[in-house]
Amino acid sequence: MNILIIGSGGREHALAWKCAQDQNVNKVFVAPGNGGTSLDQGIENLKIDIKNADSIANICNQNGIDLVIIGPEQPLVDGIVDDLQLKNINVFGPSAKASRLEGSKAFSKEFFKKYKIPTANYATFNDIESALDHLKDISFPTVIKADGLAAGKGVLICQTISEGKKALEEIFVDNAFGSAGNKVVIEDFLEGEEASFIAVVSGEEIIPLATSQDHKAAYDGDKGPNTGGMGAYSPAPIVTDELHKKIMDEVMSPTVKGLIAEGSSYLGFLYAGLMIKDDEINVLEFNCRFGDPETQPIMMRLESSLVELCLAAINNTLGSHQVRWSSNHACGVVIASEGYPGNYETDKEVIINNHSEDDVKLFHAGTKIQDNQLVTSGGRVFCATGTGADLATAQKNAYNLVSEISFEGAVNRKDIGNKGIS
Ligand code: AMP
Ligand code: GLY
């Protein structure tokens, strides 16, 4: 079989790496891919316009592609799956209608309310005046969220009313998030520990994948602005067996049933971002795709075939499908360009020292090959991922790998995984 992965991040490198190990897979194509996917054996980058369903369909027909997996949210929300299905392409991902769960926070909060899915109290506003008025009536900290897609950066946690005003001005006046900020959700601040609960969904069938925990804040100790994610580990010990069942019963099942009731049955990876406090769970957000960087440690632990899993979802045979996991733990540390999630420089030469490949994998994100040299091309540049019999060993292996990578302005959090090690 030949596989096509759409996207260019660390998530797509990890998905491609996993597919390339499959004995039934000849070739994995990634469009547009990154420096890492161009270097790995069995993987080839393709330069095509990933917004254009005709270009993707042509590539599929030319290369005998049996399965397309869409990585990032933007093409999903824009309806690439609907367009490819019309062209009879075998594609794994949700429709535009189902992807609204991530594409609009106002929509998703209303959906949670309608289907009694636990979440923070909230209100939605279309203009700055009424949003400012609302700030006078609430307690702080509060959370202000741009409605649309903002690469994980559209959520502002405000400690005081003046921070709240500043956030609203950024969104409504300075247009910091473009049209994603035409509406805002203002919701109660929730305390607790976060976990990422990601499943493969096909209609009512749900196969939960291994649990994981991301680190959204830019700096150590969960300080600084929110990012797309600075590191992740799997499994997440906070998700006990009891909580797992509760999440399936109170979050995942009502969500997939609600989607069916709304006429937007789900196919694809479905990701619930949860806040957990004791035995109380609340949904912070849903994503209509795999997490980045959660994919990287999760793929290191998946023993059975990712391709077979996606095909089972497409072919409505998920109910009888078995997934096997390694009992090992995995930990991924993001190496970013200094300044991320704000402005940062690119085109920095990368040096990767010779290192043991045992128990580690260096997933690339913002890298490219330029004049035969690997250079940086994005904010999140790598995810150095390690495995081990316990989280402490996986963490040590990941950080050993981090120490082998250098480029000007390389930064990384030093505490990825600490929360899972007691
Ligand atoms: P979201 O994109 O909605 O998941 O928000 C991004 C990040 O902001 C989350 O992963 C949390 O770290 C934080 N966050 C979002 N909503 C809340 C909330 N209601 N209370 C506390 N933190 C939140
Ligand atoms: N790591 C968080 C996300 O993928 O949204």
| pLDDT tens profile 297-312 | 999 999 999 999 999 9
- Residue with the smallest CA separation from ligand 1 atom 12 is 216
The tokens of 181 are what? 């900020």
Ligand number with the minimum distance to the CA of 277: 1
Ligand number with the minimum distance to the CA of 290: 2
Contact status, residue 92 vs residue 68, Cβ threshold 8 Å:
yes
Query: Residue 357: is it exposed, middle or buried by C-beta count within 10 angstroms (0-12/13-18/19+)?
Result: exposed
Q: Residue 222 is which amino acid?
A: D
Residue 86 banded pLDDT, cuts 50, 70, 90: very high
378 within ligand 1 shell (Cβ under 6 A): no
Count CA atoms closer than 13 A to 236's CA, side-chain side: 26
The tokens of 143 are what? 């959370």
Q: What is the pLDDT of residue 224?
A: 92
194 within ligand 1 shell (Cβ under 6 A): yes
Q: How far apart are CA 206 and CA 270, in angstroms?
A: 9
Q: Which helix (H) or strand (E) holds 26?
A: none
The neighbour count for residue 392, using CB atoms within 10 Å, is: 15
Q: What is the pLDDT of residue 209?
A: 98
| pLDDT tens profile 228-280 | 999 999 999 999 999 999 999 999 999 999 999 999 999 999 999 999 999 99
229 within ligand 2 shell (Cβ under 6 A): yes
* Ligand 2 atom nearest to 232, measured from its CA: 1
Distance of CA 266 to the CA centre of its chain: 17
- Mean pLDDT rounded to a whole number for the chain: 97
Q: How far apart are CA 41 and CA 238, in angstroms?
A: 36
Q: What is the pLDDT of residue 151?
A: 78
Q: How far is CA 281 from CA 190, 197, 221, 239, 242, in A?
A: 10, 12, 22, 10, 12
> pLDDT above 90 covers what percent of the chain?
98
- Residue with the smallest CA separation from ligand 2 atom 3 is 291
Q: What is the DSSP letter of 171?
A: I
Q: DSSP for 254-323, please give it.
A: HHHHHHHHTT---EEEEEEEEEEETTEEEEEEEESS--TTTHHHHHHHB-S-HHHHHHHHHTT-GGG---
Q: How far apart are CA 353 and CA 350, in angstroms?
A: 10
235 within ligand 2 shell (Cβ under 6 A): no
- pTM over the 0.75 mark: yes
Is the pLDDT confidence value at 152 over 90?
Answer: no
Q: Which helix (H) or strand (E) holds 32?
A: strand 27-32
Is the pLDDT confidence value at 326 over 80?
Answer: yes
| pLDDT tens profile 53-84 | 999 999 999 999 999 999 999 999 999 999 99
Q: What is the pLDDT of residue 218?
A: 96
Q: ∠ CA(383), CA(214), CA(42), 5° rounding?
A: 35
Q: How far apart are CA 317 and CA 237, in angstroms?
A: 30
Ligand number with the minimum distance to the CA of 7: 2
Q: How far apart are CA 256 and CA 67, in angstroms?
A: 23
Query: Residue 73: is it exposed, middle or buried by C-beta count within 10 angstroms (0-12/13-18/19+)?
Result: buried
Contact status, residue 63 vs residue 80, Cβ threshold 8 Å:
no
* Ligand 2 atom nearest to 287, measured from its CA: 5
Is the pLDDT confidence value at 153 over 90?
Answer: no
Q: DSSP for 307-327, please give it.
A: HHHHHHHHTT-GGG----B-S
